[in-house]
A and B are shown apart, each in its own frame.
Chain A
Amino acid sequence: MMQPVLEVTDVSKRFGGVTAVDGVSFKVYEGEILGIIGPNGSGKSTLFNCVLGQLHPTHGSIKVDGHDVTGARPCDLNRLGVSRTFQLLQVFPELSVRDNLILAGQEHEGSMLDRLLGPRDAGLTASANQMIEFFRLSHVADEKAGGLSYGQQKLLDAAMAFMAGPRLVLLDEPAGGVNLTMLGHLRDRLKAINTEQNATFVVIEHNMEFVMALCNRIIVLAEGKIIAEGTPDEIRSNPEVIEAYLGH
């Protein structure tokens, strides 16, 4: 049987008396786009942060390609091929677009000494340029990231997550605050990467249209627990989801 890229088993996270995530288990296979939806406070971001090493789960285990990575540091996870985007914009405003992308890839090759003595661009200018072109940011490649529009910064944020050719990318509300034109563009880019590179994604999103169009499979969280799992069509017609989340 095919080994999952990500395997989350019985993960719980408690903050004092509050259980934010309660015994969540799921698997994500290569080339799959899994959506995680749920109302505000359902535990989506906490679950993400547990998977990505930003929080240590109270219980349960997380495996990437069969290796136990429970509680691993985010930088070590990233070097294992797990990348992410954040709910709020997280680019480096004082660096140029190209330098943001080079930074996103520079720590993956060689030692710290190699990086000190090696070339300034860590040999990544060509890859960064490819990514810039792919995300259609060529006209702002040399601008400081802080000077870009919100939508452009969102694209850059996504491009940075893909810069090191990750095995698995976790996207936290990629559509948040992005206008319709830019949203379609972002969805196309993600679909293209998924098709061309067989990349695996886990997406948290509130924009139902975006999730339904992008994901192969969807998990619904409510009060820290999984209440439904299935294809977009199955989720749309699931009465429990309609009751708990869609509310109509």
Chain B
Amino acid sequence: MIDFLTSRGFKIFFALFVAALLITAPFYLRNFGLYLIAMWLVISVAALGLNLTLGYAGQVSMAQGAFVGIGAYVTGLMTLAGVPWPVAFLCSGLLCFVVGWVLGYPALRVQHHYLAFVTLAFSTLVFLLMRNEEWLTKGIYGLTDVPRPILFGWNTGKAFDFYFFVLGVVTLLSLGVWWIIRSPWGRAFVALRENPVRALSLGVDTRRYTLMAFAMGSAIGGFAGALYAPLVQFFEPNSFALPLSLNLLLMVIVGGGGTFFGPFIGAATAVLLPEWLRIAQGYYLIIYAIVVMILMLFCPTGIMGLGDRFISHFRQKRISAERADKAKDMAQQEGK
């Protein structure tokens, strides 16, 4: 059973099943349902970026929401000025990459909660800029009527079309992230998280990888922002204040940091679960909070970690049984 669940064939089957579900779901959903799943996909991308910085490379960041904001504002302002969405999308990612790289420098000197405070300060700074620089961001009034892209004559203005557009872009971004974490860079990021001193002694340039982890994670946050802007079409600075960064942190931890699918699951708990719990009316936030607390109490490695523990438990049991059988055979042979 465990071998089947961890086999390549099952993984491919499961991926195809999820893909089929995501492709067919819109045919059975209304506009709000489509909006919700598109939001889940966009937020998953933002969490995917944070997962690269925090889950894989072990660098605490409380500024991912700010990068989503930078990406959203860059795309919003550019597309409102008539710049095609793909150009705005690339500019969002590029600007966040550069800003993320600069933000990575403090990580070369401070770690853990000290680094968390540095990124927290950055997050606040970005929020204040968005709110106070009215000449650029329109301050508390925010940006309205952000257009949805028209690509090669395909108008994504309707919820149905926009959903498929988001699905396509998120698939490409996810494949990109999958490539990074499967490459030697992914291994170097894990080494940076687990033991930077040893990594350095093995030739891993921890300084460069730290900066790169910040820059790439931030760029992916910027790309998520570039999708967020045309999805919601109206936003203001509060959308990207500290609660978003904390929420993204929660998603990575609840889903399972350092695993590829963790952010998707984490984002589902943060975006979809509260909606499903609305039947509980005013109590839904309380129920949600209790579910998250119980999960963290019994499974600090997140939902993906729960799966890993389950698989390791059964594998270990099987190995012990095999060892016992072997010892028994040897004892019998010696007896003869």
A-side interface residues toward B, CB under 8 Å? 52, 54, 73-75, 78-79, 83-84, 86, 90-95, 99, 102-104, 106-108, 112, 115-118, 120, 122, 160, 164
Contact = CB atoms under 8 A, between A and B. Distances in A.
A90 B195 contact: yes
Contacts of B206: 75
Given A75-B204, A116-B183, A164-B202, 13 more contacts: A75-B200, A75-B202, A75-B205, A78-B202, A90-B197, A92-B194, A94-B194, A102-B184, A103-B187, A103-B199, A104-B202, A106-B187, A160-B202
Interface of B: 180, 182-185, 187-188, 190-191, 194-195, 197-206, 208, 212, 258
Contact of B191 (A83, A95, A122): A95
A86 B191 contact: no
A90 B183 contact: no
Contacts of B201: 52, 54, 74-75, 78, 83-84, 86, 90
B204 A118 contact: no
In the complex, which of the residues A78, A92, A99 has the most CB atoms of chain B within 10 Å of its own CB atom? A92
- 4 closest residue pairs by CB, A with B: A107-B203, A78-B203, A90-B198, A115-B184
B184 A122 contact: yes
Contact of A103 (B197, B200, B202, B208): B202
Contacts of A99: 187
A92 B203 contact: no
Nearest to B182: A120
Interface SS majority for chain B:
helix
Given A75-B206, A93-B194, A106 B188 contact: yes
Contacts of B183: 115-118, 120
A164 B187 contact: no
A82 to B, nearest CB: 9
Most buried by A among B182, B185, B203: B203
A52 B202 CA distance: 11
A54 B298 CA distance: 39
A75 B204 CA distance: 6
Given A78-B201, A108-B203, A112-B208, A95 B187 contact: yes
B204 A103 contact: yes
A84 B197 CA distance: 11
A107 B183 CA distance: 12
A57 B293 CA distance: 49
Contacts of A108: 203
Contacts of B194: 92-95
A196 B234 CA distance: 70
Nearest to A93: B194
A143 B204 CA distance: 23
Given A90-B197, A90-B198, A102 B203 contact: no
B195 A107 contact: no
A224 to B, nearest CB: 23
Contacts of A90: 195, 197-198, 201
Nearest to A124: B184
A116 B190 CA distance: 15
B233 to A, nearest CB: 35
Contacts of B198: 86, 90-92
A53 B25 CA distance: 57
A93 B183 CA distance: 19
A103 B204 CA distance: 8
Given A92-B194, A93-B194, A164 B184 contact: no
Nearest to B200: A74
A108 B191 CA distance: 16
B184 A120 contact: yes
Contacts of A94: 190, 194, 258
A95 B191 CA distance: 8
Given A78-B202, A84-B201, A120-B183, A103 B195 contact: no
A103 B180 contact: no
Contact of B205 (A86, A95, A107, A117): A107
Contacts of A92: 190-191, 194-195, 198-199
B199 to A, nearest CB: 8
B138 to A, nearest CB: 39
7 contacts: A74-B200, A75-B203, A75-B206, A78-B202, A84-B201, A107-B203, A115-B185
A99 B184 CA distance: 10
Contacts of B199: 92, 103
Nearest to A115: B184
B256 to A, nearest CB: 12
Contacts of A83: 201-202
Nearest to A122: B184
Contacts of B212: 112
A94 B194 CA distance: 8
